Structure 1
Amino acid sequence: MLPGRQIPQPIAQENQLWVSWHDTQMMASLSPATVMDYFCRKSNPFYDRVCNNETIRMQRLSLEHLNNMVGVEYILLHVAEPILYVIRKQHRHSPTEATPMADYYIIGGMVYKAPDLASVINSRILATVTNLQSAFEEASSYSRYHPNKGYTWDFVANKALSDKSKGNKKDPSSNKDDSGTIFQKQRVDMLLAELLRKFPPPIPPMIHQQQMQNEQQLQQNQLQNTAAEVNPTEANNVAGNPTTSNNGAVPSEASPSPNTAQGGIEPKVEGIDMKPPPEKKIKM
């Protein structure tokens, strides 16, 4: 062996949580009956060749003989067809006693090692410490020291720098995504207007009463305008310019109004009892 040459460590000695294995030839034919043969292939780095399963395979015995042996063995622990299979590695002491050593799960033909509780806790603690360290580093970047004032916080300068850096890192293609169509921009306004039309807000009593009075006044004005168009004489009476006296006498001019002669409809004033005109005396 050459001096100073490093020999790469085998996969079994590395951290198996970062290792996965699969066999493309048998992935499509996985089933509860063939999953143990799939896991016990020699190319699988998770498989220990010095185990009871290998002895049984060499002797061509069934898996039921594992209960009568002592040592390391692999068993099928859980099945969720057709995608998930859980295999346990354990050390058997007697037909009724075995100590679990590790668990492996197969998802879609890929074999992974299930992490133990210590690995999960270490990973969570490491992630927490990393986030806390980044938070402290960011907070310390805002601190400023002056001999007269001491330590102070300056968030404006760093915020401007961070905004500027974010703006530089932003891709020019992302500007196209920011701009939307008119429909996308006004969609919320359209929905709010439709909801406001379907469910109008309650009107206060004072404003509602005022609106009712305005509507009544508008209706009266419309009725007066309609009456003026149909009968101008009544419109004059309503407006305070009557054409007849209080006792029902007609004006001195006895000629009919132009509206009566042209339209052929006599006004209601002719229905009143009127005095006949005086007779003319014949001159002798």
Structure 2
Amino acid sequence: MDGNAAPIPGTDMTGICFRDQLWLNTYPLDRNLVFDYFALSPFYDYTCNNEQLRMRSIHPLDISHLSKMTGIEFMVSEVMEPHLFVIRKQKRDGPEKVTPMLTYYVLDGSIYQAPQLCNVFAARVGRALYYISKAFTTAASKLEKVGYVDLEDENLPHEPKAVKEAIDFKDVKRVDHILTSLQRKLPAAPPPPPFPEGYTPPSTTEGEQGPETEQADPKLPSVDPILDQGPSKRIKYA
């Protein structure tokens, strides 16, 4: 990417990544040179105070000079050489008064913009609501099958049972009514938020597939491990 164009203030740049392999092959990535590497990326703001210090041949992260200035500045807040560097963009209004704006991180030579906390919460809540709505839909459909027996089982001779389990169908109907009411109050399930770019879901074995894998193929029959276990596991009622 071309790092000479200054980013537009307020632009969401979480979907892009910057990496200069030629620079990484030439210079070591450490706390002394990481800011020079960050200045090549499109995340860098050439109107910041750090750039003014660079033009005066002063180290751009010299806090003794930055604390005397006001405006936009960048600071390296966390360092785990040589793999991770966290750079914070902030607005300075005085020697001890700064307001954080955005956060960037350099991970193994690749520079990213960290998402804001509100966007992270919105994505997590949206994904949770999606699966909660799916759970209510599945529960409501399974409750309709409670109390019914396959026709082929009804033709088989009934063996006397020493103990019969009693089920209060009033409770079943009451629970069914509650779930149906809650399902009607919930809005339509939004699609699940996409996974971050470059994320690969962990592979699962055939016997340990998660709920996302089971829902990905609509052609597979949905099997409930409790209520739909086949004719041999169902309770017959006289």
TM-score (norm 2): 0.52
Partner of 2:136: 136
1:87 aligns with 2:87: yes
Deviation at 1:122, TM superposition (A): 1.3
Task: Describe how 1:105-120 pairs up with structure 2 within 5 A.
Answer: 105-120=105-120
1:46 aligns with 2:49: no
The CA distance in 1 between the partners of 2:149 and 2:138, in whole Å, is 14
Q: Work out which structure has the larger RCO, using CA pairs closer than 8 Å and 6 or more positions apart in sequence.
A: 2
1:153 aligns with 2:145: yes
The CA distance in 2 between the partners of 1:90 and 1:11, in whole Å, is 15
Partner of 1:67: 67
Pair 1:17–1:140, CA change in 2 (3 A): farther
Deviation at 1:118, TM superposition (A): 1.6
Partner of 2:35: 36
Pair 1:134–1:76, CA change in 2 (3 A): same
Deviation at 1:14, TM superposition (A): 5.1
The CA distance in 2 between the partners of 1:90 and 1:76, in whole Å, is 11
The CA distance in 1 between the partners of 2:149 and 2:11, in whole Å, is 48
Q: What is the identity percentage for the equivalent residue pairs of Structure 1 and Structure 2?
A: 36
- After superposition, what is the alpha-carbon deviation per residue over 1:51-71, rounded to whole angstroms, capped at 9, x for unaligned? 112222233322322222110
Residues paired across the two proteins, number: 144
- After superposition, what is the alpha-carbon deviation per residue over 1:146-175, rounded to whole angstroms, capped at 9, x for unaligned? xxxxxx337999xxxx999449xxxxxxxx
Deviation at 1:142, TM superposition (A): 4.5
The CA distance in 2 between the partners of 1:164 and 1:46, in whole Å, is 42
SS of corresponding position for 1:104: strand
SS of corresponding position for 2:79: strand
- After superposition, what is the alpha-carbon deviation per residue over 1:173-225, rounded to whole angstroms, capped at 9, x for unaligned? xxxxxxxxxxxxxxxxxxxxxxxxxxxxxxxxxxxxxxxxxxxxxxxxxxxxx
Pair 1:138–1:54, CA change in 2 (3 A): same
Pair 1:25–1:62, CA change in 2 (3 A): same
Partner of 2:127: 127
Aligned-partner residue type, residue 105 of structure 1: Y
Q: Runs in 1 of length 4+ with deviation above 6 angstroms?
A: 10-13, 154-157
Pair 1:156–1:25, CA change in 2 (3 A): farther
| Unmatched 5+ stretches in structure 1 | 1-9, 144-151, 168-284
The CA distance in 2 between the partners of 1:38 and 1:71, in whole Å, is 22
Task: Describe how 1:230-241 pairs up with structure 2 within 5 A.
Answer: none
Pair 1:127–1:11, CA change in 2 (3 A): farther
- After superposition, what is the alpha-carbon deviation per residue over 1:64-113, rounded to whole angstroms, capped at 9, x for unaligned? 22222110000111111110111111111122322211221111011122
Verify the 8 A CA contact 1:12 1:46 in the aligned structure 2. no
- Please say which of residues 83-92 and 11-20 is displaced more in the overlay: 11-20
Partner of 2:99: 99
Partner of 1:15: 12
The CA distance in 2 between the partners of 1:55 and 1:123, in whole Å, is 38
The CA distance in 2 between the partners of 1:96 and 1:164, in whole Å, is 58
Partner of 1:77: 77
| Unmatched 5+ stretches in structure 2 | 1-6, 151-214, 222-238
TM-score (norm 1): 0.44
The CA distance in 1 between the partners of 2:48 and 2:149, in whole Å, is 66
SS of corresponding position for 1:50: coil
